[in-house]
Amino acid sequence: MIQEVQRFKPFSAKPIALLSEAGEWRGPFDLDLTEEKLLTMYRDLVRARLLDERLGKLQRMGKTSFVAPAAGHEGAHIGVAHALRPGFDWLFPYYRDMGMVLALGVPPKELFAQSLATRADPNKGRQMPAHPGSAALNVFTAASPIASHLGPAVGAAISMKLRGTGQVAVASFGDGATSEGDFHAAVNFAGVQGAPIVLVCENNRYAISVDFHKQTASENIAVKAHAYGMPGYVVDGMDTLACYYVMQEVVERARSGHGPALVEMVVYRYGAHSSADDDARYRPREEVQRWRQRDPLRRFKAFLERRGLLDDAKEAALRESAEAELAAALKEAEAAGPVPTDWLFDDVYAERPAFLEEQRAQLEGVTRG
Ligand SMILES: Cc1ncc(C[n+]2csc(CCOP(=O)(O)OP(=O)(O)O)c2C)c(N)n1
């Protein structure tokens, strides 16, 4: 039975951590990842951080209208992405998960194109920036209404179970989303149906300016799982390996027919809620600084250095190559040119009705002048 090989106990008093803040391995089992896998995880942490920085710059340059900063969430993002089978399992991310979809394999060119609305955007420029999706990689397009993707995620997982596909769905969301009715309906349904889904809460302590303690009277989010008949895990979300190993266990548990789990990853966003928010109005700078000390990149780097897998020169080379990859992707995304206005009419009907044809013709006249 899978329960007998469980590494992690649900409902632990403290968040599950495997790395100390100085990067020492503290796991109660032997690390069983190859050097290559560890370095790939670190590379993905760096790519996610650099992507976030680039998107922030594009917003300040006026090239995109909206970003949802993700720095501080990367440990959770990379832990989740690496526990999935890309293109087989399904991911239902939310708007702060750019690093997660990048690590899953969505090309950075597509992510930039989505944010800038250029022809290289597979969503044809019809989503808000920071709302990626990928048909090729089974990534459900991120939605703006919080928690609205959780019902569809559970529905998809139930379908996977009924069809016996062996796939797993993962849906991620913030702590604020757990106050929505959609969250409770979805978790309840997942529990009742034994759906192969992992619900991942990236608890960054704030829903815009609303502090976690105003969000729920529960001691944490993970305990809510108990009421829905599934295990709940609270994990140190700044510890990439803890996020990865817990995810790997519950994903495989779901894959082998043992049902859903709720995983709370305790993270922190260093930046504002979005490019439209002033976080200085609701949280002290010292709090942000304190959390920065726990940074997932810094911790993983220290861990790799202790094992002799990374040094300053290798780190510099890795950053340089990630920078170059993103710069080239951005250039290609921009070179594709803006999305044509009449793409607005595509993909809605198999055969476009006359009234839409008429509107399209009118628009053509307007844009031609
Ligand atoms: C149904 C709904 N209500 C309100 C909003 C406005 N809104 C956008 S983001 C947000 C906070 C979300 O917080 P959380 O779920 O913790 O995620 P975070 O942004 O902190 O990562 C709110 C209330 C929304 N998008 N959808």
Residue 46 has what DSSP assignment?
A: H
Mark whether 270 is an active-site residue. no
d(CA 230, CA 240): 23
pTM: 0.96
pLDDT given at position 1: 45
Whether CATH 3.40.50.970 fits 35-338:
yes
| Active-site residue flag, 253 | no
Atom of ligand 1 nearest to the CA of 202: 21
The CA 118 to ligand 1 mean position distance, Å, reads 26
Element (H, E) at 96: none
- From CA 97, how far away is CA 247, in angstroms rounded? 16
| d(C-alpha 287, C-alpha 280), whole Å | 11
CA 87 – ligand 1 centroid, Å: 28
Q: Which of the residues 282, 292, 306, 360 is marked catalytic?
A: 282
What residues in the chain have per-residue pLDDT under 70?
1-4, 369
Query: Helix, strand, coil proportions of the chain in percent (round to 5)?
Result: 45, 10, 40
> For atom 24 of ligand 1, which residue has the closest CA?
145
Which atom of ligand 1 is nearest the CA belonging to 144? 25
Q: What are phi and psi of 143, to 5 degrees?
A: -110, 155
pLDDT attached to residue 365: 85
Nearest CA to ligand 1 atom 26: 145
Phi-psi region of 117 (alpha: psi -120 to 50; beta: other; left: phi over 0): left
Residue 269 falls in the annotated catalytic set: yes
Task: Convert the pLDDT of each residue in 81-97 to its tens digit.
Answer: 999 999 999 999 999 99
Q: Which of 49, 205, 253, 269 is catalytic?
A: 269
Domain definitions of the chain by residue range: 35-338, 339-368
Nearest in space to 167 (alpha carbons), one of 136, 141, 198: 198
CA distance 319 to 225: 39
- Sequence letter at residue 10: P
Q: Quote the pLDDT of residue 130.
A: 96
Which tokens in the block code for residue 366? 């307007």
Instruction: Render pLDDT for 236-291 as a digit per residue (tens, 0 to 9).
Output: 999 999 999 999 999 999 999 999 999 999 999 999 999 999 999 999 999 999 99
CA 268 to chain centre: 14
- Region of 205 (left: φ > 0; alpha: ψ -120 to 50; beta: rest) is left
Q: Give the model's pLDDT for residue 369.
A: 67
CB 115 within 8 A of CB 62: no
Q: Ligand 1 mean position to 208 CA, how many Å?
A: 7
Q: Which of 54, 253, 273, 299 is catalytic?
A: 273
Query: How close is the Cα of 174 to the center of ligand 1, in Å?
Result: 8
Residue type, position 121, single letter: D
Whole-number pLDDT of residue 100: 98
For a pocket test of ligand 1, which of 74, 175, 208 has the largest count of ligand atoms closer than 8 A to its C-beta?
208
Local structure of residue 211 (DSSP, 8 states): E
The angle formed by the CA atoms of residues 184, 137 and 111, to the nearest 5 degrees, is: 90
The Å distance, Cα 353 to ligand 1 centre, comes to 36
User: What is the residue-wise DSSP string for 290-309?
Assistant: HHHTT-HHHHHHHHHHHTTS
